[in-house]
Structure 1
Amino acid sequence: MKKLLCFLFVSLSLLVNAATDGERAVISLNGTWQFDQTINSFPPKKFTRTIPVPGLVHLATPKIEEYDKFFKREESVEAKEQHNLYNIDYTPRYSWYRKTVFIPAELEGKNGIITIKKSQYVTQVYINGMDMGTSMSCYTPIEFPISRAIKFGSENEILIKVGDRVWLPSEAAGGTDKEKEHYLPGIWDDVELSFTGNVRVNRLLALPSVKNRNITIKAQIRNFKPAQIFYGDAMSDSINLSISIAEKLSGKIVANKEIRVNTKRDNLSEAVIDIPMDEFTNWSVDNPFLYKAKVTLTSNGDISDEISKQFGMRDFTRKGKFFYLNDEKIILRGTNITLQRFFEDPDCSNLVWDREWVRKLLVDYPKQLNWNMMRICVGIVPDFWYDIADENGLLFQNEWLYWQNHGWDDQIRKEYTDWVWTDGCHPSIAIWDAINENWDDYIGNTLIPELKKMDNTRVWDSGYMTAEQMQNDEMDEPHPYQGVISWIQPGANRNVYPLGNLDFKPESLVEIQQSGSAQLVNEYGWIWLWRNGIPSKLTVETFEYYLGENSTPTQNWEFQAYWMQLETEWLRSEPALAGVLAFSYLTNNYGYTGDWFEGNIKELRPTETLAWLQHAFAPAATFINLTDERYMHIVEPHVPGSTLLFNLTGINNFTMPINGTVKVKFLNEHGETAINQNFQVKLESFQRTDFPVSINLPKEAGGYVLVAEFTSENGQPVISRRFIKVGQADKYNYYKLNTELK
């Protein structure tokens, strides 16, 4: 107990010293809070539960009422295409958080702010019984001044009320997701109290320009002094704003500048400063070098506030149909994360806030899988996720939860603007994604041009809006899903998608080729499974058609891995594409789609789909250009001993030509090599190169695996495969070729 008191005394002393010097003093409110729920808007008479912050209401102990209605572990699946938000199977409740915190007397006279980085849905804050304010923002920080309610030198009660999704006001900039059935409320990012002098850095943007060799600092400054009451009273104050730029790891200062800024009282003012960067290291996927910008506000010689933000010197631009990182062409390769859907996963628990688990998800596997980008789809993520991506060279397409049309223009402008202010320092965020699979004239033609002026260091995506709907269409997000059985007309030839044929050109691919904007395929792969190996709600018919009824999880996983490999090869062989992002890496189990893990997601056990995607996403590879003959219907077998003619399609995402060796072989059902052939290839940079291959087929009838193994100089083998039928056989058995992630 003495050690605890000593620790608290030292901690409070440090806090008091910071406050005495005039710098920002911060008290973290993360940790355990008292918690309970009510049906009406009055607080509970007593709190019977606890809950971690950050977290959502499913983490309360004991469990919330009707917990089992939010989390259902289905043993079987029923085909379903969408869900109506208002078809609820639970009782909407208010969620109440309570915490007491000691605030030192030394902070009296300072201006206090409570910051809740993210809370959903409709959040109201009380301190010592006084109402501090209400906010409908769900994905950007909620902040209220609190000094008038604080009891300095004593304990203070903080009470936070959070509403249910069905009560979110019509004007709120929060879309609906027709593939979600439960929207969990709660405080899902950091919470803190902070104290400053009379002027405070409210928001800070560090916008780099590698091309111009400078950094633009934009500071939004809050002046707490009272507004003018009598004629002749001061309306503004002049302050010093100084900035120092330092390398994050070494602390070496590389640039600094100081200016004088006029700030309007009881209001927000903006300052913009350009700082030359004579020497610097670029931030890139391979070298995520970071800097810190420290901003200090001084009023009458005293420090009023001081904060730091990390950033990277990088340019992400669009030229024609392609993206460029630091003026070097980059082909985007990766996947999607749908975090808001994952929140309703029975195994979600506290994993979203477990830094070790998140690092494995965002760093360890993606590096093996040759991914350089992820799309944060239909909803953004906690702030530290972006920090991890910054530090490890992962790019993000950062998408707001805006799928179905929702929100009023003024509120959308308010929340989207704060979104850019809040997350705009992260070098990992390369693309702001305003809409998913939809259109909105205001967002596309009014708001995005405004926000481009605010942040010109990134590309904007606006869902399905193209150059026909937008004045400045930087990029499009085609979703060329193939093989969707429910979309095929009854009686039609069901082989509408020749899986494995790299020359297949449906209308969606023709539109990609004809567009003048960058084309980023950020969804494909209508072949989802739950983590127990059974089809998702959207893919029951798909698996029944290709595998028959009652297929086993093993059969489903094997088919999914093959399908995803071949469809990825098809898309990556299209030279008009600026990037390919598979759907989906993390989502809700027991949902409409699925991800590529098995068992409890806590363990992050990859299925064979991820193991094969590491080959399909290799930066340099050769792919077999042949239609599958195992799963595609109406395919005749080859004559034994005949000659098979096909092309190997080579791709190369590197900036220089790649030389290597290709081994082509047939494996019989026992894994024995029946036929093999080796030759040298040269893959030109950013081009598709087709190599004709002539090879004699085995003379024995049966099922074979045609394998093309490309190995570059000093590289690892990259495998492409196709199942081939030779001759007439009662049953075609195929060898299972294995590959795995470490």
Structure 2
Amino acid sequence: MIKGEGVSLGNKLSVERYVINLNGSWQIEPGERNNPPSRFTHSIEVPSLVDCSVPHYAWENFNYHWYRKEIFVPREAYGKAAFLKIEQSMFGTAVWLNGNYVGESISCYTSQEYRIEKFFRYNSINVVEVRVGNRSTLPPESAVGNDQERISFIPGIWGDVELRFVNKIRVKIVQAIPNISSAELRANLWIENLSFNSEHIIAHVTVVENKTGFVSARRTFDMNISGNDTRLTTVHLFLNKMKIWSPNSPNLYRIVITLQDTNGEVYDQAQTSFGMREFRIDGSDFYLNGQKILLRGSNIAFHRFLSDPDRGRLPWQLDWVKRLLVEIPREHNFNFFRAHLGHMYNRWYDIADEGGILIQDEWQFWRASGSREQIISEFSQWLMDNWNHPSIVIWDPLNESTDEIVQNEIIPAMKRLDPTRPWESFDFFEDHTYIYSLGPVLINRSFGYSRSLDKIQHSDYPSQINEYLWWWLDKDYNPSGLMKDIIPRWLGEDCTRDEIITHQSFLASELTELFRRLDVKCIQPFVYLSANQGPTSHWFEGEIAKLKPKPIMMALKNAFEPVGVSIELWDRHFYVGEQRRVVVHIFNDYNHDVQSKLEFGLKRMDGELLSSKSIHVDLAALSHVTKELVLNFPENPGDYYVYAVAKDVSTHRSMKSQKLAIVYPVPGFDETHTKIKVGMFDRTDEISEYLSSVGFHICRFDGELDSSMDILIVAGSMQVAADYRHHYSKIKSWVY
């Protein structure tokens, strides 16, 4: 039998609120729903998932898994209220103390609290048992959600566990609502009286800078509270020398609330971190702290990553998380992530708070599930657990789906509970623009879960493309299952591994530049982190523990440069000696003016410069300007690069845009081509006008076959048109 690590409270109960961390070693054993195991032969670290047990067992063969831990409770704890808090556990959790049933919850992503002191054995060892179920054991009313691309749903206690002792009155919930224009913090405090008697209390509220300890504000007030009651009170504090929270200056405060009786005896003391940060939508823009902001980053499919066989306990190793969530993204010009299909382990948000990363927190609804009442309950707890994180700037209830109850009833109620953040699918809507991969290169109509490019460019609300780049390779650069028909379409059946890897970076550059040219406010290719063996994999090669970025990350670093450049050049074919006017876009994503230097020209494939010119471009804050420049192509046929580099003069940082240019000899025609009759099936006259200019006889194809036609040209744009499908049989019969 493996002994679980015991926890002794010792003589620490003199502190008014004492929190005991129950993370660490527990015992675990698979079992039945109603009968705990008689013996425990496995151990496990909490937090984690049941597949981390030692020794390992086939968890998928069991519907229930039992955790066990021993704690020593001294007699000094008598008279205090005790709460067992499980921050995150799935799928379905029930708690016993010393064999006594305490309670249960079907919440899988939000915190659970159990009052347990009536079951204590004081001055003795106490046994806590927690049962978790497999996903299939959840009742129909569960709001667990759906994810069709998740490999497995592994149960376990995946959040922190702690035991809290308090006196008869406690601070139950704290909500910090900043107003940066007035340097004011509105603190909503839910104070709970756990006794039967009414009490008069004195509350001291202090705001302290996390880094320096500087006291920014103090306030004292008194109040009466009835027995067995919870009372909401609001305190307004004005911060001295206020420091705002932003990605570049992630300044954090903590609010400390001390509750006393009239004799000065302390009932409780609680504290929570927050940042003086505001995020809102105005028209078609996002605003952070009163200034427009452009969001650049990707997606983290945390719960899909939990299915990765190489995951181990990495999601709970905070040094690894900091490298993944803050350091690597900032090195690559990311400032924003969507937590895709499910709230992450809570400490990730603490790290994002400290590192200045912005997050859109998405519930695991790829189609809603569960009862209205359960969704309201879990959404409310979701907000209360997380609303003091300055890193979370957007709530997101749904992925690629709609739900009348969620969008029309529940979100308005949640916005009253937390009025400080916008909701995706209510205040604005995301687009998943899988062009130039799953779809054609450019497609100016709705496609999948995306509006047309024109509607995205001229959106009435902030445009967000948080999924694009359908080009997914695993850690060894093998294409994922979703790439089966995609790669041959673009690269042919005989393409090489290097060509596949290079094309991923090529698409990252091409599409990110396109969306910057369209002034998309939030750009997030898919997907930074997911399960390696899943449909979309992730952007790290080799062992995930080492976090070695794939080449696509360097392409995105360049494409996300705040002072950026993009050559608008879709036609990559030219004649020798041709002169062409080319439009170059220059961007400034900063909230301040920038002086930039633009270099533009032509070079050989080996990098040798053939032509180059430089101009200075003054860029206003958050601006996008265009320059039309003349380019003279060489007299020799071959492959070349048109390139442009925008450099920030003050920082010397730069971005490069580079487009392939294929230069051909000018075609020559003899008199015989004038006798060729060409049928044209096209919405435009561009091809017809060119062929007519060099002497071809052109006739329009209107569905009637002309037996005298020698050639029938169907423009690419017609292949998605209704006319093409209507006339397809006639076209096919003409060809054959």
TM-score above 0.5: yes
Q: Quick one: structure 1 residues 392 and 682, their matched pair in 2 at CA, closer, same or farther if it must change by over 3 Å?
A: same
CA distance in 1, matches of 2:436, 2:61: 39
CA distance in 2, matches of 1:507, 1:146: 53
Q: Is 1:177 equivalent to 2:147 in the alignment?
A: yes
Q: Is 1:554 equivalent to 2:498 in the alignment?
A: yes
CA distance in 1, matches of 2:441, 2:617: 33
CA contact (8 A) 1:474 1:518 kept: no
1:443: which partner in 2? 406
- DSSP 3-state at the match of 1:564: helix
Structural RMSD (CA) = 2.3
TM-score normalised over the length of structure 1: 0.84
CA contact (8 A) 1:335 1:585 kept: yes
- DSSP 3-state at the match of 2:122: coil
1:481: which partner in 2? 434
1:33: which partner in 2? 26
CA contact (8 A) 2:169 2:194 kept: yes
CA contact (8 A) 2:367 2:403 kept: no
CA distance in 1, matches of 2:434, 2:414: 31
CA distance in 2, matches of 1:270, 1:352: 36
1:76: which partner in 2? none
Q: 1:641-696 deviations in whole A, cap 9, x for unaligned? A: 32233111111112233222222243433333333333222333333211112122
- Aligned counterpart for 1:531 among listed residues 472, 475, 480: 475
Once the two structures are TM-superposed, the CA of residue 298 in structure 1 deviates from its matched residue by 2.1
Q: Is 1:332 equivalent to 2:295 in the alignment?
A: yes
CA contact (8 A) 2:336 2:358 kept: yes
Q: Quick one: structure 1 residues 645 and 514, their matched pair in 2 at CA, closer, same or farther if it must change by over 3 Å?
A: closer
Q: 1:258-296 deviations in whole A, cap 9, x for unaligned? A: 233443433433222222335311111111111110011
CA distance in 2, matches of 1:223, 1:412: 28
One-letter amino acid matched to 2:463: Q
Q: 1:192-235 deviations in whole A, cap 9, x for unaligned? A: 11100011222211111112331111222332224xxxxxxx5x
CA contact (8 A) 1:101 1:155 kept: yes
Q: Quick one: structure 1 residues 290 and 700, their matched pair in 2 at CA, closer, same or farther if it must change by over 3 Å?
A: same
CA contact (8 A) 2:437 2:469 kept: no
One-letter amino acid matched to 1:727: Y
Once the two structures are TM-superposed, the CA of residue 523 in structure 1 deviates from its matched residue by 1.7
One-letter amino acid matched to 1:638: F
CA contact (8 A) 1:518 1:578 kept: yes
Once the two structures are TM-superposed, the CA of residue 397 in structure 1 deviates from its matched residue by 0.8
- Aligned counterpart for 1:427 among listed residues 390, 396, 399: 390
1:430-509 to structure 2, matched below 5 A, reads 430-462=393-425, 473-485=426-438, 495-496=441-442, 507-509=451-453
Once the two structures are TM-superposed, the CA of residue 702 in structure 1 deviates from its matched residue by 2.8
- Aligned counterpart for 1:675 among listed residues 594, 606, 611: 611
1:320: which partner in 2? 283
**Of 252-261 and 344-353, the range deviating more from structure 2:** 252-261
1:198-347 to structure 2, matched below 5 A, reads 198-226=168-196, 236-301=198-263, 302-347=265-310
**Of 438-447 and 664-673, the range deviating more from structure 2:** 664-673
CA distance in 2, matches of 1:414, 1:327: 32
1:541: which partner in 2? 485
- Aligned counterpart for 2:656 among listed residues 704, 719, 723: 719
2:454: which partner in 1? 510
Q: Quick one: structure 1 residues 169 and 326, their matched pair in 2 at CA, closer, same or farther if it must change by over 3 Å?
A: same
Specify the structure having the higher radius of gyration (Cα): 2
One-letter amino acid matched to 2:611: I
Q: 1:41-95 deviations in whole A, cap 9, x for unaligned? A: 42222112111101011211111216xxxxxxxxxxxxxxxxxxxxxxx534211
CA distance in 1, matches of 2:461, 2:21: 45
Q: Quick one: structure 1 residues 283 and 685, their matched pair in 2 at CA, closer, same or farther if it must change by over 3 Å?
A: same
Q: Is 1:16 equivalent to 2:13 in the alignment?
A: yes
One-letter amino acid matched to 2:597: T
1:122: which partner in 2? 92
Q: Which has the higher contact order (CA 8 A, sep 6+)?
A: 1
- DSSP 3-state at the match of 2:348: helix
- DSSP 3-state at the match of 2:61: coil
CA contact (8 A) 1:533 1:552 kept: no
Q: Quick one: structure 1 residues 197 and 281, their matched pair in 2 at CA, closer, same or farther if it must change by over 3 Å?
A: same
Q: Is 1:695 equivalent to 2:638 in the alignment?
A: no
CA contact (8 A) 2:579 2:632 kept: yes
Identity of aligned residues (%): 33
Once the two structures are TM-superposed, the CA of residue 550 in structure 1 deviates from its matched residue by 5.2
CA contact (8 A) 1:209 1:457 kept: no
1:102-121 to structure 2, matched below 5 A, reads 102-121=72-91
CA distance in 2, matches of 1:537, 1:295: 53
CA distance in 2, matches of 1:41, 1:395: 43
CA contact (8 A) 1:374 1:395 kept: yes
**Of 415-424 and 38-47, the range deviating more from structure 2:** 38-47
- DSSP 3-state at the match of 1:256: strand
CA distance in 2, matches of 1:115, 1:8: 16
Q: Quick one: structure 1 residues 261 and 121, their matched pair in 2 at CA, closer, same or farther if it must change by over 3 Å?
A: farther
CA contact (8 A) 1:102 1:154 kept: yes
- DSSP 3-state at the match of 1:50: strand
Once the two structures are TM-superposed, the CA of residue 497 in structure 1 deviates from its matched residue by 5.3
1:165: which partner in 2? 135
- DSSP 3-state at the match of 2:286: strand
- DSSP 3-state at the match of 2:257: strand
TM-score normalised over the length of structure 2: 0.85
- DSSP 3-state at the match of 1:582: coil
Once the two structures are TM-superposed, the CA of residue 130 in structure 1 deviates from its matched residue by 0.7
Q: Quick one: structure 1 residues 437 and 640, their matched pair in 2 at CA, closer, same or farther if it must change by over 3 Å?
A: same
CA distance in 1, matches of 2:10, 2:393: 40
CA contact (8 A) 2:89 2:109 kept: yes
Q: Is 1:194 equivalent to 2:169 in the alignment?
A: no
1:375: which partner in 2? 338
Q: Quick one: structure 1 residues 639 and 258, their matched pair in 2 at CA, closer, same or farther if it must change by over 3 Å?
A: same
Q: Quick one: structure 1 residues 26 and 495, their matched pair in 2 at CA, closer, same or farther if it must change by over 3 Å?
A: closer
- DSSP 3-state at the match of 2:527: strand
- DSSP 3-state at the match of 1:180: coil
- Aligned counterpart for 1:363 among listed residues 308, 323, 326: 326
- DSSP 3-state at the match of 2:277: coil
- DSSP 3-state at the match of 1:33: strand
Question: Which stretches in structure 2 are left out of the alignment for 5+ residues?
Answer: 1-5, 445-449, 667-736
Q: Quick one: structure 1 residues 516 and 496, their matched pair in 2 at CA, closer, same or farther if it must change by over 3 Å?
A: closer
Once the two structures are TM-superposed, the CA of residue 405 in structure 1 deviates from its matched residue by 1.8
Once the two structures are TM-superposed, the CA of residue 421 in structure 1 deviates from its matched residue by 1.1
1:345-424 to structure 2, matched below 5 A, reads 345-424=308-387
One-letter amino acid matched to 1:275: L
Q: 1:136-180 deviations in whole A, cap 9, x for unaligned? A: 111111110010111122211111100111222222222110111
Once the two structures are TM-superposed, the CA of residue 568 in structure 1 deviates from its matched residue by 0.7
1:732: which partner in 2? none
1:631-646 to structure 2, matched below 5 A, reads 637-646=573-582
